[in-house]
A and B are shown apart, each in its own frame.
Chain A
Amino acid sequence: MTGYIVKRLISAVPVLLGISVIVFLIMAMIPGDPATAILGSYATPENVEKLNRDLGLDKPLVQRYFIWLGNMLQGDFGRSFSLNRAVLDEVLERFNATLVLAGTSFVICSILGVAAGVVSAARQYGLADKAITFAVLLGISIPSFFLGMMMILIFAVNLRWFPVSGMWPIYGARDLSALVSHLTLPAIALAVVATGVIARLSRSAMLEVLRQDFIRTARAKGVHERSVIWRHGLRAAMVSIIPVLGIQAGFVLSGAVYIEMVFQWPGVGRMLVDAILKRDILLVQGGVVFVAACYVLFNIAVDVAQSLLDPRIKA
């Protein structure tokens, strides 16, 4: 197992390099002169030139990439001019908040989505199946930011069950119950779309599996139908559901940007949008590379989980 993990980690190196190249190239496409963008249009030519030199922008593209990469590997993601703070410090702080939100959402959508898919498949064409299918359709069609706004309106403003926004109360203790009450609405709003997608794919994965011969064998053994569905069916279907969970984790992680805007959640997505609007390129660059790298590592974890679940994958 350790060998497999090491192998997967090594295979992630080219992917991570590829991601850094893509991000670097996208940022290099920026029209105009970044120094002018930073200094504003009243900057003197001397100042622009000096900043360009300071930023290393007078060097050729390839050289700039390797300097950037080398600095990143040493933990130097540059300095955000809008916040006047090291990019990595800011990203790490914000990423924590995003991780709390996206992680909770991911747990919600995985459990609910798979359960809904299994029930839907087991009761194919029945009332539960139809109700779930309709709910799923609604879930994957509603924009999460609109859903979030409506949830604020109903559950925070009218019913006053939850706070309107933020991660912590402005006054009062920063304890778990405060976090949970702030987290509930945004986590659910973020989970809805992914739940729908997971439910849909779990349903078809289950339908595929339930037609297999080994399901008939289980029934011929006299295994109770509940076990046939949840033990035999779901276990086999998980093999094709897990990769979907991995993909949806990416959607939840990056879709968090909308929810963070709506709920004023101090996460990395909101930081990115602010940075884009302020043209704080180093902050965008650092944030995107960091989150994408985390996602690559998460996908390795998904692969490892897959190999634990399916003994046919040689570990």
Chain B
Amino acid sequence: MSFLRLLSRNRLALAGLIVMSVVVLLALLTPILPLPDPDVTNTAERFKKPFSEGALLGTDHLGRDLASRLMWGTRLSLAVGFAAAVAAATIGAAIGVIAGFYGGRVDNVIMRGVDMLMGFPYILLALAIVAALGPGLLNALIAVAAVNIPFFARNIRGVTVGIAHKEFVDAARLCGMSNARIIITEVVPNVIPVIVIAMSTTIGWMILETAGLSFLGLGSQPPQADLGSMLGEARSALITNPHTSVVPGAMILVIVMAINLLGDGVRDALDPRLKSGALSRPMPTTMVRRKKPVPQPEGDGILSLRDLQTQFHVKDRIYKAVGGVDLSVRPGECLGIIGESGSGKSVTALSIMGLVASPPGVITGGAVHYKGEDLIGAPYETLRRLRGDRVAYIFQDPLATLHPLYTVGAQLIEAIQSHHRTSTSEARARAIELLKSVRIPNAEARVDNYPHEMSGGMRQRVGIAMALANDPEVIIADEPTTALDVTVQAQILALLDDLRRERGLAIIFITHDFGVVAQLCDRVAVMYAGRIVEEGPTDAILNAPAHPYTARLMACVPELGQGRRQLAAIPGLPPVVDKLPAGCAFADRCPKAASACRSGDIDLGPFGPARKIRCIAPEIPVQEATA
């Protein structure tokens, strides 16, 4: 039912459906419509123009009524195209199901043959078949059906292979059902939707192809005429009496177009990926829709976030991934952001430079000040100039984040040349220098490697080198060590630490690993459900966590040599960010939660001289905050 609703929502598909229904209805009604005999010739009345007396669409070169011939021809073309589609689908599906269900050698032999047939230029094979069988409409039908069989066989085989290993097929087998019965009762019903989609996308082709063979004189033979042979016969009078060509040609166009519209609609309605709207590409910058006034810059940070809010708008749902984040980082300082997956830390980081995928991402409020200038809502060109030049990113998983088809050198050179006018040889020298600075051995040779030729640790170093390419002032590192083993991780952290001390870099370091925070960060902010729940100097927070969530999160971390301690998982799950509870988002999982925790919004308030906390029942008294 929802399928029909989806289809009807697609206006183009609906138009196709209506046109097709009208054409089919007219074709069905043709025998009882008051039309002249399509085959009666009257040479005295030949080539009458359309809309003339007694002949709505005029007459052809033998004086036959074109309107009548058009209707009968349409009827024939539709019937032949449909028959070819059904024949190809049935035989192709049967072959595909057998190949997919039995697998092994049967599959191998069948699919080799199918691939062979698909290797033929399509129409050539149809021509060869017609050549063997002789011209004629039925033979043209057989030829068109035959050349389409491989397409169905291959599609259906793929689906069947998936089904043949499902539990319900195993269950049927264990019940002692025969293979034939399993195929008919379990497999076939599941492949029918695929057959329907494949048919809806190919039936237009088949009508075109049979018309084409008839056009060549290899299909329907006179006096019987489908749309293709009407067009073929009219060709000799094309210049003197174009209407005899336009009438059947336009009809083919209308039919095939309506079928294609309908076929696209059916495919879109049945393809779950399109349903969720996942197939849309992100725009160059994140969409900004700020309703409230933009906060003014304050503090001495080189980069500061003020009440930043980023949401994902998926259909009617709104996911508040970042719900008002305030952060600031000074030159030479490393700020850690820590939290579970889905806490909004990556989205916060990506929002800074407008890199959140949009659609569906929207920045709905707040500001990001870089040296006092607001980046949210800045024009694209301003952002582009700052990206990678002043504010650079290091991403997680460098296999996915480096371009697979360019050498690392080419990607480094591009990073440099996007911001500096330098010759390629100069940029290349600089690229090698950068690779050396991140301690890649044999940098002169490595510069010409592709990402897939490097190890994970090496690729991550390339990612760092790329971030350093233009001597940025801020580096935003989004879990850059998560995919790496511990020794490589330690090297990379040491490298980043050196860099910020040598070059006075400000680093925002996103992680879910307290060990990394302890090693590298001066300050740390703990995020939960899109907001910061605790912030302060790293030592103070790690020694004496004040927010219950921080405390629970740290209790989950195993420590070497302390095997007796119980690892306590946090009960429950983080809240879904499209339905946040009122008050503290952690209340449902917090052992200390009181009714006051659930009533109103809780501010991120000061806790001792250097810390902030979003909690009314801290784990420790405020006097111990500086411990």
CB pair B419 A217 closer than 8 Å: no
CB pair B397 A220 closer than 8 Å: no
* The one of B131, B397, B403 that contacts A236, using a Cβ cutoff of 8 Å: B403
**Which size class do B's interface residues fall under?**
35 or more
Closest A residue to B452 by beta carbon equals A312
CB pair A213 B400 closer than 8 Å: yes
Q: How far is the CA of A210 from the CA of B284 in the complex (A)?
A: 10
Q: Which B residues are CB-close (under 8 A) to A183?
A: none
Q: Which A residues are CB-close (under 8 A) to B81?
A: none
Contact residues of B between 197 and 215, Cβ < 8 Å to A: 204, 208, 211-212, 215
A245 contacts partner chain B, Cβ-Cβ < 8 Å: no
CB pair A204 B279 closer than 8 Å: yes
Q: Which B residues are CB-close (under 8 A) to A22?
A: 116-117, 120, 125
Interface string of B197-238 (1 = CB under 8 A from A): 000000010001001100111100000000010010001001
| Residue count of chain A within 8 Å CB distance of chain B | 81
If over half of B's interface residues share one DSSP class (helix, strand or loop), that class is named, otherwise mixed; here it is helix
A161 contacts partner chain B, Cβ-Cβ < 8 Å: no
Interface string of B485-517 (1 = CB under 8 A from A): 000000000000000000000000000000000
Given contacts A220-B387, A223-B414, 16 further A-B contacts (CB under 8 A): A137-B257, A141-B204, A141-B257, A145-B215, A146-B249, A149-B249, A153-B242, A204-B279, A216-B401, A220-B395, A221-B469, A250-B122, A257-B127, A288-B128, A309-B405, A312-B405
Q: Give the contact stretch, choosing among B21-29, B95-103, B378-386.
A: B378-386
Interface string of A263-300 (1 = CB under 8 A from B): 00000000011011101010010001001100110010
Q: Which B residues are CB-close (under 8 A) to A228?
A: 284
Shortest 9 CB-CB distances between A and B: which pairs?
A: A146-B249, A254-B121, A210-B281, A222-B388, A141-B257, A254-B123, A222-B387, A221-B388, A250-B121
A178 contacts partner chain B, Cβ-Cβ < 8 Å: no
CB pair A220 B216 closer than 8 Å: no
Do A27 and B132 contact each other (CB < 8 Å), given the known contacts A214-B400, A214-B403, A216-B355? yes
Instruction: For residue A246, give the distance in angstroms from its CB to the closest CB of chain B.
Output: 10
Q: Which A residues are CB-close (under 8 A) to B387?
A: 219-222
CB pair B124 A291 closer than 8 Å: yes
Q: Which A residues are CB-close (under 8 A) to B393?
A: 217, 220
B129 contacts partner chain A, Cβ-Cβ < 8 Å: yes
CB pair B384 A224 closer than 8 Å: yes
CB pair A222 B385 closer than 8 Å: yes
CB pair B279 A18 closer than 8 Å: no
Do A29 and B132 contact each other (CB < 8 Å), given the known contacts A220-B387, A254-B123, A258-B216? yes
A188 contacts partner chain B, Cβ-Cβ < 8 Å: no
CB pair A26 B249 closer than 8 Å: no
Closest B residue to A136 by beta carbon equals B260
Can you sample 28 A-B contacts with CB below 8 Å?
A15-B119, A19-B119, A27-B128, A27-B132, A137-B264, A143-B212, A143-B215, A143-B252, A145-B212, A150-B246, A164-B239, A207-B280, A212-B400, A214-B402, A215-B282, A217-B393, A219-B355, A221-B388, A221-B415, A236-B403, A251-B123, A254-B121, A254-B122, A258-B215, A275-B131, A276-B135, A277-B135, A295-B119
CB pair B388 A281 closer than 8 Å: no
Interface string of B405-420 (1 = CB under 8 A from A): 1100000001100110
Instruction: For residue B233, give the distance in angstroms from its CB to the closest CB of chain A.
Output: 12
CB pair B261 A137 closer than 8 Å: yes
CB pair B239 A211 closer than 8 Å: no
Q: How far is the CA of A137 from the CA of B252 in the complex (A)?
A: 14
Q: How far is the CA of A257 from the CA of B134 in the complex (A)?
A: 18
CB pair B242 A216 closer than 8 Å: no
Contact residues of A between 119 and 167, Cβ < 8 Å to B: 121-122, 124-125, 137-138, 140-143, 145-146, 149-150, 152-153, 157, 164
A310 contacts partner chain B, Cβ-Cβ < 8 Å: yes
Q: Which B residues are CB-close (under 8 A) to A164?
A: 239
Closest B residue to A16 by beta carbon equals B119
Q: How far is the CA of A258 from the CA of B212 in the complex (A)?
A: 7
Instruction: For residue A219, give the distance in angstroms from its CB to the closest CB of chain B.
Output: 6
CB pair A149 B235 closer than 8 Å: yes
Contact residues of A between 211 and 254, Cβ < 8 Å to B: 211-225, 227-228, 232, 235-236, 239, 250-251, 253-254
CB pair B418 A217 closer than 8 Å: no
Do A219 and B284 contact each other (CB < 8 Å), given the known contacts A207-B279, A250-B122? yes
CB pair B405 A311 closer than 8 Å: yes
Q: How far is the CA of A224 from the CA of B75 in the complex (A)?
A: 55
Q: How far is the CA of A276 from the CA of B132 in the complex (A)?
A: 8
Q: How far is the CA of A261 from the CA of B389 in the complex (A)?
A: 60
Q: How far is the CA of A228 from the CA of B281 in the complex (A)?
A: 12
A87 contacts partner chain B, Cβ-Cβ < 8 Å: no
Contact residues of B between 105 and 126, Cβ < 8 Å to A: 112-113, 116-117, 119-125
CB pair A211 B260 closer than 8 Å: no
Q: How far is the CA of A140 from the CA of B207 in the complex (A)?
A: 13
Instruction: For residue A260, give the distance in angstroms from its CB to the closest CB of chain B.
Output: 10
CB pair B281 A207 closer than 8 Å: yes
CB pair B260 A137 closer than 8 Å: yes
CB pair B238 A236 closer than 8 Å: no
Contact residues of B between 389 and 448, Cβ < 8 Å to A: 389, 392-393, 395, 397, 400-406, 414-415, 418-419
Q: How far is the CA of A224 from the CA of B400 in the complex (A)?
A: 20
Instruction: For residue A259, give the distance in angstroms from its CB to the closest CB of chain B.
Output: 11
CB pair B216 A217 closer than 8 Å: no
Q: How far is the CA of A137 from the CA of B249 in the complex (A)?
A: 16
Q: Which A residues are CB-close (under 8 A) to B395?
A: 213, 216-217, 220
B256 contacts partner chain A, Cβ-Cβ < 8 Å: yes
Q: Which A residues are CB-close (under 8 A) to B380?
A: 225
Closest A residue to B115 by beta carbon equals A15
CB pair A222 B405 closer than 8 Å: no
CB pair B401 A145 closer than 8 Å: no
Interface string of A176-209 (1 = CB under 8 A from B): 0000000000000000000000000000101110
Q: Which B residues are CB-close (under 8 A) to A253?
A: 121, 124
* Residue positions of B touching A, CB distance < 8 A: 112-113, 116-117, 119-125, 127-135, 204, 208, 211-212, 215-218, 228, 231, 235, 238-239, 242, 245-246, 249-250, 252-253, 256-257, 260-261, 264, 279-282, 284, 350, 353, 355, 357, 380, 384-389, 392-393, 395, 397, 400-406, 414-415, 418-419, 450, 452, 466, 469
A116 contacts partner chain B, Cβ-Cβ < 8 Å: no
Closest A residue to B216 by beta carbon equals A273
* The one of A122, A149, A299 that contacts B238, using a Cβ cutoff of 8 Å: A149
Instruction: For residue B422, give the distance in angstroms from its CB to the closest CB of chain A.
Output: 15
Do A121 and B281 contact each other (CB < 8 Å), given the known contacts A30-B132, A239-B405? yes
Q: Which B residues are CB-close (under 8 A) to A208?
A: 279
A88 contacts partner chain B, Cβ-Cβ < 8 Å: no
Instruction: For residue B492, give the distance in angstroms from its CB to the closest CB of chain A.
Output: 17
CB pair A281 B131 closer than 8 Å: yes
Q: Which B residues are CB-close (under 8 A) to A140?
A: 260
CB pair B132 A26 closer than 8 Å: yes
Q: Which B residues are CB-close (under 8 A) to A142?
A: 253, 256
A262 contacts partner chain B, Cβ-Cβ < 8 Å: yes
CB pair A152 B238 closer than 8 Å: yes
Instruction: For residue A251, give the distance in angstroms from its CB to the closest CB of chain B.
Output: 6
A57 contacts partner chain B, Cβ-Cβ < 8 Å: no
Q: Which A residues are CB-close (under 8 A) to B279?
A: 204, 207-208
Q: How far is the CA of A232 from the CA of B112 in the complex (A)?
A: 36
Q: How far is the CA of A153 from the CA of B353 in the complex (A)?
A: 56
CB pair B131 A276 closer than 8 Å: yes
Q: How far is the CA of A310 from the CA of B405 in the complex (A)?
A: 6
Closest A residue to B253 by beta carbon equals A142
Interface centre among B112, B121, B132, B384, by most chain A C-beta atoms within 10 angstroms, is B121
CB pair A211 B217 closer than 8 Å: no
Instruction: For residue A178, give the distance in angstroms from its CB to the closest CB of chain B.
Output: 21
Q: Which B residues are CB-close (under 8 A) to A281?
A: 131
Q: How far is the CA of A94 from the CA of B414 in the complex (A)?
A: 49
Q: How far is the CA of A302 from the CA of B380 in the complex (A)?
A: 39
CB pair A217 B401 closer than 8 Å: yes
Closest A residue to B208 by beta carbon equals A143
Q: Which A residues are CB-close (under 8 A) to B124?
A: 253-254, 272, 288, 291-292
